[in-house]
Amino acid sequence: EVIDGKIEYEHVAFTYPTADEPVLTDVSFTVNPREKLAIIGATGAGKTSLFQLIPRLYNVTKGVLYIDQKPITSYTLDQLRGSIGYVPQSPLLFTGSIRDNIAWGKENATREEIIQSAKDAQIHDTIMDLPDQYDTRVGQKGVNLSGGQKQRISIARALIRRPKILMLDDSTSALDLATESELLRAIQHYHCTTMIITSKISTAISADRILLMNDGKVLAIGTHEELLNQSSLYMRIVES
Ligand code: DCP
Ligand code: MG
């Protein structure tokens, strides 16, 4: 089981099984337990690909990925996925109630746990405004939810399992800044290692450190001030 949530990429390269060219080349960096790391970089830079290696949706092609100093391949998929809250860039809800969608993967979840994770994900008030509240059906013949509402239900689904590692792939893109900062504040109480892909520079600055990706590589990693000194690309992003 994942205990601390330390993550280390060591000379990681990755090529999709169906592709010829690598999308990640020689990626090395460490995320400390309970640290919050923001990942930024242009579209196609490889941010989502970098993420997908942690829950082992794909295997590393070259190099080693460590969790708590052990190669990721030494964990079973159940151990790994039980410890990781992964919110994909385009979250999927299944046909069923909102309650079941949040509790998915934690069938014994209590009513209180479901409500608490929805509150932390800043979606509780929206749910309470729906016709059948937590029993409202989504998916086919159910209510239509916006992309941002689906994202927050997906975040609640990740939080309810009290993950050691939380991975948000652009999951707050549809939120206004005030709601987003409430959500990020609530997540701090989970004391998990957090990796958050974002296109908002203000969100990146609120993290402990920022990793700037470019063309499948780590261009720079450090605090906002460090990156301002290290990277002219970072400076251009901040100024734009
Ligand atoms: N790619 C691929 N096969 C996939 C997914 C992606 O060949 N199943 C390619 C497309 C890109 C590169 O990998 O050239 C990196 O894609 P990512 O999805 O990792 O890129 P980002 O997440 O950084 O981009 P975005 O900001 O648009 O989400
Ligand atoms: Mg992506």
Q: Does residue 73 form part of some domain?
A: yes
Cβ–ligand 1 distance for 178 under 6 Å, the answer: no
Task: Please tell me the number of the ligand nearest to residue 212's CA.
Answer: 1
Cβ–ligand 1 distance for 23 under 6 Å, the answer: yes
Residue 125 Cα to ligand 1 midpoint, Å, equals 34
Report the chain's mean pLDDT, rounded to a whole number. Answer: 96
Q: Does residue 150 form part of some domain?
A: yes
Residue 1 Cα to ligand 2 midpoint, Å, equals 27
Cβ–ligand 1 distance for 47 under 6 Å, the answer: yes
pLDDT level of residue 2 (50, 70, 90 thresholds): confident
In the chain, the number of structural domains is 1
Nearest CA to ligand 1 atom 5: 49
23 Cβ partners below 8 Å, 6+ apart? 14, 15, 16, 46, 49, 216
pLDDT level of residue 140 (50, 70, 90 thresholds): confident
pLDDT reported for residue 144: 85
pLDDT reported for residue 54: 98
- Answer whether 84's CB lies under 8 Å from 163's CB: yes
pLDDT reported for residue 240: 87
pLDDT reported for residue 230: 95
Residue 216 Cα to ligand 1 midpoint, Å, equals 9
| Structural domain that includes position 172 | 7-239
Cβ–ligand 1 distance for 25 under 6 Å, the answer: no
| Residue 167: φ, ψ to 5° | -125, 115
pLDDT reported for residue 143: 83
> What digits encode the pLDDT tens for the residues 37-86?
999 999 999 999 999 999 999 999 999 999 999 999 999 999 999 999 99
pLDDT reported for residue 141: 76
Q: Does residue 153 form part of some domain?
A: yes
Compute the average pLDDT of residues 163-187: 95
pLDDT level of residue 142 (50, 70, 90 thresholds): confident
Q: What is the ipTM of this complex?
A: 0.98
Cβ–ligand 1 distance for 55 under 6 Å, the answer: no
Q: Does residue 77 form part of some domain?
A: yes
Compute the average pLDDT of residues 129-134: 95
DSSP state of 67: E
Q: Does residue 1 form part of some domain?
A: no
Cβ–ligand 1 distance for 49 under 6 Å, the answer: yes
Compute the average pLDDT of residues 199-221: 97
**Position 8 pLDDT exceeds 80:** yes
Nearest CA to ligand 1 atom 19: 46
CATH of the domain at 111: 3.40.50.300
pLDDT reported for residue 128: 98
Percent of the chain exceeding pLDDT 70 equals: 100
DSSP state of 21: S
Cβ–ligand 1 distance for 45 under 6 Å, the answer: yes
pLDDT level of residue 164 (50, 70, 90 thresholds): very high
Instruction: Tell which wins on pLDDT, 235 or 141.
Output: 235
38 Cβ partners below 8 Å, 6+ apart? 196, 197, 198, 203, 204, 205, 206, 207, 209, 210, 211
Q: Does residue 2 form part of some domain?
A: no
